[in-house]
A and B are shown apart, each in its own frame.
Chain A
Amino acid sequence: MQESLPITGASAQLRGAELERAMRKRWSKAPFERLIVLSLWLCGTVSMITTVLIVLTLAEETRAFFMEVPLRDFIFDTKWTPQFEPAHFGVWPLVFGTLNVLFWSMVLALPLGLAAAIYLSEYAHPNTRRILKPVLEALAGVPTVVYAFFALTVVTQDILRPLLGQDRVPIFNALSASIVMAVMILPTIASVSEDAMSNVPRELREGAYGLGATRLEVAFRVVFPAALGGIIAAVLLAVARVIGETMIVAVAAGSTPQITLNPLNSVQTMTGYMLAIGLGDSARGTVDYTSIFAVGSTLFIFTFCANVAANIIVKKFKEQYE
């Protein structure tokens, strides 16, 4: 940094072309500054490169997979048995494994998560909310391998099997994974929906109270519908998390790909299959190796759609009250 304390310093006397030149931007003036900006720009591109790499590798290996397995089989075959002869590569059993867990975890988490959101936004004293909300959000920070342990050893072995009978509940079942998954995504639903409900303008609430509505009526007839966009977005984010969650289903749900929504069946999800292959050491170029990318691409498309839809809805919803 150049110091020129006196106001009547030489640079202040410049006029005309000289002044213009002195004031022009130039590399040589601040090389350090330019270097910094360049390196920050490089940092900024890393996230873009990541996306490009994800898409490229998924596309490349998926293409290799479809060189061996016809796309028609992948979509229309109803069996997924890569390890048997003759091998079948119909993706539906894996998709249904994911849908099975998704469905049952949503059945459990939706009412509880929305109830928590309504309680925090409309009923709880501000101090209660200040404590309770972070506690609830902490549930989302528990490592999923811990939830996986809970699902297999506690929920299945200590709760479900004694409760429903050893012969009705196989050791690996979709229900235990769904229950634990529900606990895991509940904070996502509760927290994001609560944000949406808190953003509903106070005037709407007052309008309803002014007409003699009770707290319950204000919550369900005014706040809930007004926050519906944000609530849907919260649910979509939770859906994306369930679809992409790996450890819980890999440990507790089993490894039997089948088309069923029965929660007491052993199922294999898309992520569960990918992890099972990842545990081994399959060489590049084998169908085993490329199949995880094909399944991964399917998974990526599902979660991508859910995330994009959630983002669009959140954005739309923000504009509504601004």
Chain B
Amino acid sequence: MSNSVDLRPASTGQRAAEGTLERPMAQAQPGAIVEPEGEIAITIENLSLWYGPKQALTNVSMKIPARKVTALIGPSGCGKSTLLRCINRMNDLIPTVRIQGSLYYHGVNLYGPDIDPVEVRRRIGMVFQKPNPFPKSIYDNVAFGARVNGFKGNLDQLVEQSLRRAALWEEVKDNLKKSGLALSGGQQQRLCIARAIANQPDVILMDEPCSALDPIATLKIEDLMRELVKDYTIIIVTHNMQQAARVSDYTAFMLTDEQVTGQLVEYGPTEELFTTPKDRRTEDYISGRFG
């Protein structure tokens, strides 16, 4: 390994800190980033992020289409989860995080002054890698968001609709008082999706939602995603390329290499990216040569 490795973190950090827009050494090949058409839900511009002194994202720019499934793929450590968590400001909860660049949600800068993370998260919901139902009843899990948000309508109806949309209603309608922890892993994850839906969000972020599930449960969640995308913008992080190919309309490939941590290498319609990748590194990854 050359000694440039030792210099990397400091030098890239420095450059980003100075705010110059010079692109990092290893650039995406021309044309590797294809802007999606139609309505744009989220626009990311030159986003860089540091955990303390450690950089995790470098100059990521992309536009995420509304009411489509966008998949973030890449080997572990490439920054895809970090990027996802920027979109609903979950990274705010880590004290040492520093962010540069901008993120627009329908034209509103998510990191602008006065922007309230609670408002952001109400509109941009999230489903996590490990199903994390609260140790409360199924009903209370789904109703949680509505309750903290001071929901005035018919709570029973909201819970039922959310569970129906999450394709869980038929399985739990007789046991709404049962603990959410008593469900199977796949059911728990659908409960978490129902919980997110009950908040009536616009965007749903999913951080490897199927990695803890068996194949049948995974299939159910994937079907659900295709169903939900008629109304919601879905962004999913996955390490499973088949899954990305199956469920997503657009795919972004991210990578951490020797020069740059957390860069966006290629982004475009899923079919194009998987059949005719424009960047050598994307091709290497999807053909299984590394990662």
Contacts and interface: CB of A to CB of B under 8 A. Distances in A.
A207 B191 CA distance: 12
B144 interface: yes
B130 A203 contact: yes
A204 B132 contact: yes
Interface in B91-142: 93, 95, 118-122, 125-128, 130, 132-136
A309 interface: no
Chain B interface category by residue count:
20 to 34
A165 interface: no
Interface residues of A, number: 21
Contact of B148 (A207, A212, A225): A212
A222 B125 CA distance: 17
Interface stretch (B40-48, B169-177, B192-200, B262-270): B192-200
Interface stretch (A171-179, A213-221, A236-244, A290-298): A213-221
B256 interface: no
A280 interface: no
Nearest to A222: B134
A204 B136 CA distance: 11
Given A126-B95, A221-B148, A210 B134 contact: no
B119 A212 contact: yes
A205 B121 CA distance: 13
Interface string B52-95: 00000000000000000000000000000000000010100101
Nearest to B132: A203
Contacts of B122: 211-212
A317 to B, nearest CB: 11
A257 to B, nearest CB: 45
Given A125-B95, A203-B128, A212 B149 contact: yes
Chain A at the B interface: mostly helix, strand, loop or mixed? helix
B136 A225 contact: yes
A153 B125 CA distance: 58
A210 B121 contact: yes
Given A125-B95, A126-B95, A206-B90, A211 B132 contact: no
B131 to A, nearest CB: 8
B228 to A, nearest CB: 16
B199 A211 contact: yes
Nearest to A211: B145
A302 interface: no
Contacts of A206: 90, 93, 126, 128, 132
B148 A210 contact: no
Interface in A182-233: 201, 203-214, 217, 221-222, 225-226
Given A206-B90, A207-B192, A221-B144, A212 B132 contact: no
Contacts of A203: 128, 130, 132
Given A204-B132, A214-B118, A209 B90 contact: yes
Interface string B173-206: 0000000000000000000100110010000010
B144 A208 contact: yes
Contacts of B118: 212-214
Contact of A211 (B93, B130, B135, B148): B148
B185 to A, nearest CB: 13
A221 B134 CA distance: 10
A226 B181 CA distance: 12
Contacts of B148: 211-214, 217, 221
B196 A210 contact: yes
B135 A225 contact: yes
A211 B196 contact: yes
B128 A211 contact: no
B8 to A, nearest CB: 28
Given A201-B132, A210-B196, A212-B149, 7 more contacts: A203-B128, A206-B90, A209-B121, A212-B120, A212-B199, A213-B145, A214-B148
Shortest beta-carbon contacts, A-B, top 8 = A212-B122, A210-B126, A203-B132, A211-B145, A212-B121, A207-B132, A217-B148, A213-B148
